[in-house]
Amino acid sequence: MTTQIKRSACPYDCPDTCGLLVEISEGKAVRVSGDPDHPYTRGLLCPKMLHYEQTVHSPLRLITPLKRSGAKGSGNFTPITWDDAIGEIALRWREIIGRYGAEAILPYSYAGTMGLIQRNSGHPFFHALGASRLARTICSPAKDAGWQAVMGETPPPPPESVAKSDLVILWGIDAAATSIHFLRGVQDAKRNGARIWLINTYETATASAADEVILVRPGSDGALALGMMHILVRDDLVDHGFVAQRVQGFQELKDQVLPDYSIEKVAAITGIAGEKIERLAREYGKAEAAYIRLGSGLSRYGNGAMTIRTIACLPAITGAYGREGGGCFPGTSTGPAFAMKEVTREDFMAAPTRIVNMNQLGNALNGLNDPPVMSLYVYHSNPAAVTPDQNAVIKGLLREDLFTVIHERFMTDTARHADIVLPATSSLEHSDLYRSYGTYHIQRARAVIPAVGQSKSNREVFGLLAQAMGLDDPFFRQTADDLIDHLLSIPTSLRQDIDVEALAVGRAVQLRLPETGFPYRTSSGRIEIFNPREEHPLPCYLPPHGDNDPFPFRLMTAPTPYALNASFYEQEELRRKQGGMLLQMNPLDAEEKGLENGKAVRARNDLGEVTFTLRITSKVPRGVVVAEGVWWLTYAPGSRSVNALTSQRLTDRGEGSTFYDNKVDICAMDDKK
């Protein structure tokens, strides 16, 4: 039996975009390992991907198109042919378009695959059809908006630079779960003598890598950053030369804002001891090159953009932005590496169509929209699990008059509610082009095994749908590889002088590193602490939404190391490693509530009720409960999972999700209150 080893890339929504080596035998992937030649990830894979072959060849993979044969949501389906499936979709869509107009069709997709071709392959089709558009703001647009308010389009230096830092703050990021390769850089810095601080709302797995852990009251980090700046100014830990030349608005911040953020006040808002705030600020101010790694957690609040904006001002005051190993890292900006308009084809839209916010799918499916949403086409996303306000989403999906189609690899919570289910390829079965959002690397990956069962790639399915709907632009007949060749034929400045041969044979290649220093890419060319285009021209503390909710516990809907959003639940071993669908709670809170470790508990608020298994742990502070992972309902102890408790409220800027900005009450299962 001959085995071959081929290169591929990790397709998941993770900043690292690991290089993979896939061992193939008789057309099947039998083993997957990290590519030691990948310049950044260097062969280290996370626990989720160690057995990717078990996901690719899982007995749970969908292998034929299916048509619903029972009540909505019953999970009863009958296999049908591709011709029948595409024919039925086209027929129903023609009826809906005839009666309501094409905007009654809503596409819903996000990040099942990050490959640029497959991920975006629905855009041209839905633009040509005239369907509603989706504002894809479920992840972290408030983080981008907060960064842009201060730094404009300035790209951050590559993540490798953290190794040169002497003080690292991991701020709102569980790097041990979500950024393992970045954490390796942090450990290099630590070996070189750097001090590591972690600022989170509970002690995550990353806490063991830190010298100091600060547990902040959820949604109050903006106040902490203002308190730190208050101390930097008070103790004159300011880089006056840097501020004078490269910063706009320091004096206004100093005179008009910082006096309001005394240590006592900041301690009261954040719940952090004044002494600890002092120590953090002084260490930060005295460091030569302090590095802040910003996660997304703290941006998923009603005040998320302002929080990020406030933190992004810190390195302006100390001048850390100007020093190697210093600054603030929210992620990389590799978007301009490719002419993406050639893939998304906005030019196919005859006129701009309605935009629906993906976080408010619940409202869109149940509301009195004109036209109403009569058909939902879901691809590489699992909205019944990952979208806030699960009860509203599921209520919408149960509508008898909603025609739902899903293109998926597995019978997910969303697929269960569909009328037609189409089987999707995994990343090993289709070609794609990847660009990382945590490093400056790109990689081309070709299909390395044949499609499993009758599954087809996103690109192929949209080709079939275009044909059935009478869209005859030759674009729809191009293969993924054709489109990749086309993109690579268009030069961009980030791809200047890259190693094209290495790219062609499937190796990860570093882009040309962008200019990250002064003058900055803002309208003034300086770092804009004062930004006159913002509603609040100077940073300030805004309270999060949840502060007004009438329930006692703040709910953290955090990532787990053993899943990625609602992906990987098909692997039993990974579910087992999570230990079940747990709710973590402080021992004193549990005692006060009379709750026992390992027992079923009910979390509830105005939106819904969810059953979890209780884990009592002192890693979670009082007043906070933690639900890691986004469990499939199939494996949940009750009939709902965590997002039945999260709301459709949006962030202050960017119309983002506010997953972390919710409160709940907890009681034992037998307590009927």
Ligand X SMILES: Nc1nc2c(c(=O)[nH]1)N[C@H]1C(S)=C(S)[C@@H](COP(=O)(O)OP(=O)(O)OC[C@H]3O[C@@H](n4cnc5c(=O)[nH]c(N)nc54)[C@H](O)[C@@H]3O)O[C@H]1N2
Residues at the interface with ligand X (CB under 6 A): 13-14, 110-113, 118, 138-140, 171-174, 177-178, 199-202, 204, 216, 218-219, 221, 295-298, 379-382, 386, 407-410, 412, 424, 458, 556-561, 563-567, 630, 642-643, 646, 659-660
Give the residue with the Cβ less far from ligand X, 248 or 387: 387
Cα(423)–Cα(460) distance, rounded to whole angstroms? Answer: 11
Q: Of the listed pieces 43-51, 145-153, 494-502, 593-601, which binds ligand SF4 according to CB under 6 A?
A: 43-51
Give the residue with the Cβ less far from ligand X, 41 or 118: 118
Q: Are 112 and 55 in contact (CB under 8 A)?
A: no
Q: Is 49 in the site for ligand SF4 (CB under 6 A)?
A: yes
Rounded to the nearest whole angstrom, what is the least distance from the CB of residue 50 to ligand SF4 in the complex? 8
Q: Which residues contact 189 (CB under 8 A, 6 or more apart)?
A: 162, 163, 164, 165, 166, 168, 196, 291, 325
- Phi-psi region at 466: left, alpha or beta (left = phi > 0; alpha = psi -120 to 50): alpha
Q: Of the listed pieces 12-20, 210-218, 314-322, 323-331, which binds ligand SF4 according to CB under 6 A?
A: 12-20
Rounded to the nearest whole angstrom, what is the least distance from the CB of residue 181 to ligand SF4 in the complex? 7
Provide the sign of the torsion angle of the four alpha carbons 334, 496, 509, 151, taken in this order. negative
Q: What residues are paired with 291 via a beta bridge?
A: 168, 327
Give the residue with the Cβ less far from ligand X, 38 or 526: 38
Cα(640)–Cα(241) distance, rounded to whole angstroms? Answer: 56
Exactly one of 22, 24, 46, 62 binds ligand SF4 (CB under 6 A); which one?
46
Among ligand X, ligand SF4, Mo ion, none, residue 177 binds (CB under 5-8 Å by kind): ligand X
Give the residue with the Cβ less far from ligand SF4, 52 or 321: 52
Rounded to the nearest whole angstrom, what is the least distance from the CB of residue 448 to Mo ion in the complex? 26
Give the residue with the Cβ less far from ligand X, 148 or 427: 427
Among ligand SF4, ligand X, Mo ion, none, residue 386 binds (CB under 5-8 Å by kind): ligand X
Q: Is 374 in the site for ligand SF4 (CB under 6 A)?
A: no
Q: What's the burial of 354, exposed, middle or buried (CB within 10 Å: 0-12/13-18/19+)? A: middle
Rounded to the nearest whole angstrom, what is the least distance from the CB of residue 557 to Mo ion in the complex? 12
Tokens at 336, concatenated: 């301009």
Closest residue to Mo ion: CB criterion: 139
Among Mo ion, ligand X, ligand SF4, none, residue 557 binds (CB under 5-8 Å by kind): ligand X
Give the residue with the Cβ less far from Mo ion, 15 or 326: 15
Helix (H) or strand (E) holding 212: strand 212-215
Tokens at 321, concatenated: 């932005």
DSSP-H helix ranges across 341-440: 341-344, 361-366, 383-386, 390-397, 413-416
Neighbouring CB atoms inside 10 A of 160's CB total 16
Among ligand SF4, ligand X, Mo ion, none, residue 7 binds (CB under 5-8 Å by kind): none
Among Mo ion, ligand SF4, ligand X, none, residue 558 binds (CB under 5-8 Å by kind): ligand X
Rounded to the nearest whole angstrom, what is the least distance from the CB of residue 251 to ligand X in the complex? 29
The label of the residue with tokens 């742990």 reads: 617
Q: Are 420 and 405 in contact (CB under 8 A)?
A: yes
Q: Are 402 and 369 in contact (CB under 8 A)?
A: no
Roughly how many angstroms between the first and final C-alpha of the chain, as a whole number? 63
Q: Are 145 and 367 in contact (CB under 8 A)?
A: no
Give the residue with the Cβ less far from ligand X, 298 or 636: 298
Among ligand SF4, Mo ion, ligand X, none, residue 567 binds (CB under 5-8 Å by kind): ligand X
Q: Which 3 state secondary structure label does DSSP give 602?
A: strand
Cα(211)–Cα(203) distance, rounded to whole angstroms? Answer: 13
Q: Is 139 in the site for Mo ion (CB under 5 A)?
A: yes
Interface positions with ligand SF4 (CB under 6 A) = 10, 12, 14, 16-18, 41, 45-46, 48-49, 180, 564
